[in-house]
Amino acid sequence: MFNQPYLTEENKMVSELYRNFVEKEIMPVRQQIDDDKDHKIVRKILQALTDVGHQKAAFPTEYGGNGMTAALPAAIMHEELGRGDSGVGTAATVTTWAFMPAIMAGNKAVLDRFAPEFCGPELRMGCFAMTEPASGCDVENLHEMHGKTIATHAVRDGDEWVINGSKRFPSSAGVSSLYCVVCQTDVSKGEDGIALIYVPADAKGLSFGKFEVKAGMQSDRNCDIFFDDVRVPITYRASGIDSRPGTDKTLLARNLTVGRIASAAAAVGCARGAWDEVLRYTGERVVGGKPIREHSIAAGILADIITGIETARAHYLQVAYMASNPEQFGELDSEFMLSQASITKNYACDMANASIGRAMELMASYGYIRDYHVEKYWRDVKEVQLWLGGKQLAQFDTVRGFYPYRMD
Of 87, 118, 149, the last residue of a domain is 118
Residue 4 domain-assigned (yes or no): no
Which pLDDT score is estimated for 381?
A: 98
pLDDT value at residue 3: 63
By percentage, how much of the chain surpasses pLDDT 70? 99
In which element (H, E) is residue 290 found?
strand 290-291
- Please tell me the distance from the alpha carbon of residue 238 to that of residue 194, in angstroms, as a whole number: 11
What's the mean pLDDT in 299-320? 97
Q: Are residues 75 and 107 in the same domain?
A: yes
Residue 353 has a pLDDT of 98
What CA–CA distances, in Å, run from 344 to 257, 261, 341?
Answer: 11, 7, 5
Q: Are residues 74 and 148 in the same domain?
A: no
Under 8 Å between Cβ of 257 and 337: yes
pLDDT the model gives residue 242: 80
pTM for this prediction: 0.97
Instruction: Give the whole-angstrom CA distance, residue 351 versus residue 342.
Output: 14
Shared domain for 251 and 387, answered yes or no, is yes
Q: Which of 82, 98, 118 is the last residue of a domain?
A: 118
Instruction: Tell me, yes or no, whether 260 lies in a domain.
Output: yes
Q: Residue 186: pLDDT above 60? A: yes
Is 256 a domain residue? yes
Nearest to 175 by CA among 46, 34, 31: 46
Smallest CA-to-CA distance from 153 within 165, 161, 139, 141 is with: 165
Cβ count within 10 A of residue 201: 16
**Residue 202 and residue 264 in one domain:** no
Check residue 97 and give its pLDDT.
97
334 vs 1, residue with greater confidence: 334
**Which tens digit of pLDDT belongs to each residue from 130-143?**
999 988 889 999 98
pLDDT at 2: 55
**pLDDT at site 137:** 85
Length of the chain: 408
With 0-12 CB in 10 A as exposed, 13-18 as middle and 19+ as buried, what is 154?
buried
Alpha-carbon distance of 167 to 128, in angstroms, equals: 10
Domain that holds residue 110: 9-118
Q: Given the DSSP bridges, would you call strands 194-200 and 206-208 parallel, antiparallel or unpaired?
A: unpaired
Mean pLDDT of the chain: 96
Per-residue pLDDT at 394 exceeds 80: yes
Domain final residue, candidates 236, 260, 280: 236
DSSP letter assigned to residue 229: E
Residue 386 lies in a domain: yes
Comparing C-alpha atoms, which of 79, 77, 78, 86 is closest to residue 26? 86
Q: Are residues 231 and 258 in the same domain?
A: no
388, 330, 351: which is closest to 270 by C-alpha? 351
Q: What is the mean pLDDT of residues 381-404?
A: 96
d(CA 44, CA 61): 26
Both 267 and 380 in one domain: the answer is yes
Q: What is the pLDDT of residues 2-57, one digit of tens each?
A: 567 778 889 999 999 999 999 999 999 999 999 999 999 999 999 999 999 999 99
**8 Å CB contact between 63 and 115:** yes
Residue 109: give its domain's CATH number. Answer: 1.10.540.10
- If asked whether residues 99 and 147 sit together in one domain, one would say no
Whether residues 281 and 177 fall in one domain? no
On whether both 291 and 333 belong to a single domain, the answer is yes
Classify residue 176: in a domain, yes or no.
yes
**Mean pLDDT value across residues 159-164:** 98
Tell me the per-residue pLDDT of 349-358, one tens digit each, with 9 for 90 and over: 999 999 999 9
| Helix, coil or strand: residue 139 | coil
Confidence of residue 332 (pLDDT cuts 50, 70, 90): very high
* pLDDT per residue as tens digits for the range 113-123: 999 999 999 99
Give 217's pLDDT tier (boundaries 50, 70, 90).
Answer: very high
Same domain assignment for residues 392 and 326: yes
**Torsions phi, psi for 74 (to 5 deg):** -65, -40
Share of the chain above pLDDT 90, in %: 94
Count of structural domains within the chain: 3
Q: Are residues 293 and 184 in the same domain?
A: no
The stretch 311-316 carries a mean pLDDT of 97
Same domain, 136 and 153: yes
Q: How far apart are the first and last CA of the chain?
A: 43
CA distances from residue 329 to 151, 197, 340 in whole angstroms, order as listed: 34, 29, 11
Split at pLDDT 50, 70, 90, the class of 149 is very high
In a domain, 1, yes or no: no
DSSP helix/strand/coil, 182: strand
Q: Tell whether 404 is covered by a domain.
A: no
pLDDT bracket for residue 407 (50, 70, 90):
confident
Q: What are phi and psi of 192, to 5 degrees?
A: -70, -15
Query: Tens of pLDDT along 259-296?
Result: 999 999 999 999 999 999 999 999 999 999 999 999 99
Q: What is the pLDDT of residue 5?
A: 76
Helix (H), strand (E) counts: the chain: 11, 9
Please tell me what DSSP assigns to residue 171.
B
Tell me, yes or no, whether 108 lies in a domain.
yes
Q: What CATH number does residue 274 fall under?
A: 1.20.140.10
Cβ neighbours, 10 Å, residue 91: 26
Q: Cα(250)–Cα(254) distance, rounded to whole angstroms?
A: 6
